[in-house]
Amino acid sequence: MAHSARYELKYVIEEPRAIAIADFLSSYLRPSEHNGSGPIRGHPVISLYLDSPDFFFFRQAYTGHKNRMKLRIRIYDDEWQRPAFLEVKRRVGEVICKDRAMITREGVRQILAAGWPHQAYWSDCQHLLHGKRRQDVSDDFWQFANTVRARGAIYVSYYREIYEAADDEELRVTLDRYIHGSSYDGSGRLSVPNRGWRPYLPPYLAPFPKDGVILELKFDNQAPRWMFDLVNIFNLRQTPVCKYSACIYAQQLNLGRRVLPEQEKDLLYE
């Protein structure tokens, strides 16, 4: 899926309710082949988020800007020969738009270890898989990164369980577990990081529950009727949570740093 535009509704729930919801979903969606059969439900997802020195993208999410974006490089394992993905994720009003391009890990390493962002990087398709078909995404990614002088900020990792429709790639439900943020060492070599901090959810200054799961309902134009039934049956309350923002916030609290100037924090309660 190179490009998508959809609505995403998020909920923070506990593990027993997540298991019951997964059973409910099996009547309407099929489990992803990537879910696996291990002791942890789902498959690992590791994203290196990029941000400016003053955390421009974090501040957009933290203060609830309706039109905002994130830049990240995503992997799913520690296998060097497998690809990484450049991702540009935008929120435009209530719609979530995501573009991504597949790239070799050597291509990522060359970019992140070659003096960038101190020297602007101009993308080419040498290391892109599928070549010029996704060069538009690569161009956008590095144009945005160069504009704000973004650099690797933090890893966000979790296990994702997926349920998806057979005939609609935008209709899916995901359950994210064991969410944590970890330091990025600046080496340019992507890897599965050591377990770091649990998210700390702004603006309520609440630590993420130990058995907390983020449930996301995703659809394009209109949610199917069974999604309304799911919300009602399981008494779900929508929660505006951004995993990147929550992990950055936790990291800053752990280091004893101020996350936002006081005048920006006031925006949270308007």
Give phi and psi for 134, each to the nearest 5.
Answer: -115, 15
Q: Count CB atoms within 10 A of the CB of residue 26.
A: 11
Peptide bond into 203 cis (omega under 30): yes
Which helix (H) or strand (E) segment holds residue 56: the answer is helix 56-62
pLDDT tens for the chain, residues 1 to 270: 556 788 999 999 999 999 999 999 999 999 998 887 777 889 999 999 999 999 999 999 888 888 999 999 999 999 999 999 999 999 998 899 999 999 999 989 988 887 888 888 877 778 888 655 678 899 999 999 999 999 999 999 999 999 999 999 889 999 999 999 999 988 888 888 888 889 987 665 678 888 899 999 999 989 999 999 999 999 999 988 899 999 998 888 877 766 555 444 433 322
Buried b (16+ CB within 10 A) or exposed e, 198-234: bbbbbeeeeebeeebbbbbbbbeeebeeebeebbeee
Looking at domain 3-261, what is its CATH homologous superfamily? VTC, catalytic tunnel domain (3.20.100.30)
pLDDT for 202 equals 65
Q: pTM above 0.85? A: yes
Give the separation between CA 116 and CA 147, rounded to whole angstroms: 12
Give the separation between CA 215 and CA 70, rounded to whole angstroms: 20
